[in-house]
């Protein structure tokens, strides 16, 4: 029974790959780029395959280091959704002001600090 289930799953996954060529136009960067980025117009974070290489990732590291490294990168990219550019975009990627006037004023005041 288990063997039949596994064979069926392989068959379904294989058929999902067959319908046509992969749509490579939807990925906004080369997979060999060792970087990650946030796209406000898509409200998305992209992790190309190359980010899973040294110095950011090593399969021999303990899980805590792997999750920590990826968490730092994800957290960094996530904060771009709330920086001076990211707050101009709504959750669905449309360019619109979603903060109320008090929040917008406070954000403008706080964002003028230099570190």
- Listed in sequence order, the residues at least 6 apart from 89 whose beta carbon sits closer than 8 Å to its beta carbon are 40, 41, 43, 81, 95, 96
Q: For residue 12, what is the DSSP state?
A: H
**What is the percent of the chain where pLDDT is above 90?**
21
> Is the pLDDT reported for residue 5 higher than 70?
yes
Q: What's the pLDDT score for residue 27?
A: 65
Q: Which of 74, 67, 35 is nearest to 51 (CA)?
A: 35
Residue bearing the bigger pLDDT, 46 or 6 = 46
Cβ pair 40, 93 in contact under 8 A? yes
Task: Give the pLDDT band (50/70/90) at residue 109.
Answer: confident
Report residue 2 as tokens: 């288990």
Lowest-pLDDT range of 4-8, 35-39, 98-102:
4-8
Q: In Å, what is the CA distance from 10 to each residue of 5, 7, 20?
A: 9, 5, 18
Q: What's the pLDDT score for residue 90?
A: 81
Going through the chain in order, the beta strands assigned E by DSSP cover 37-39, 44-46
| pTM for the model | 0.66
């Amino acid at each position: 029974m288990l063997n039949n289930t596994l064979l069926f799953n392989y068959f379904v996954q294989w058929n999902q790959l067959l319908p046509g060529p992969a749509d490579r136009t939807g990925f906004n960067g080369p997979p060999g780029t060792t970087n990650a980025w946030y796209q406000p117009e898509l409200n998305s974070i992209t992790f190309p395959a190359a980010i899973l290489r040294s110095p950011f990732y090593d399969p021999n590291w303990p899980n805590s280091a792997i999750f920590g490294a990826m968490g730092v990168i994800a957290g960094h990219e996530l904060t771009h959704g709330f920086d001076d550019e990211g707050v101009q975009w709504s959750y669905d990627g449309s360019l619109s002001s979603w903060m109320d006037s008090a929040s917008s004023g406070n954000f403008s005041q706080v964002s003028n600090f230099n570190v």
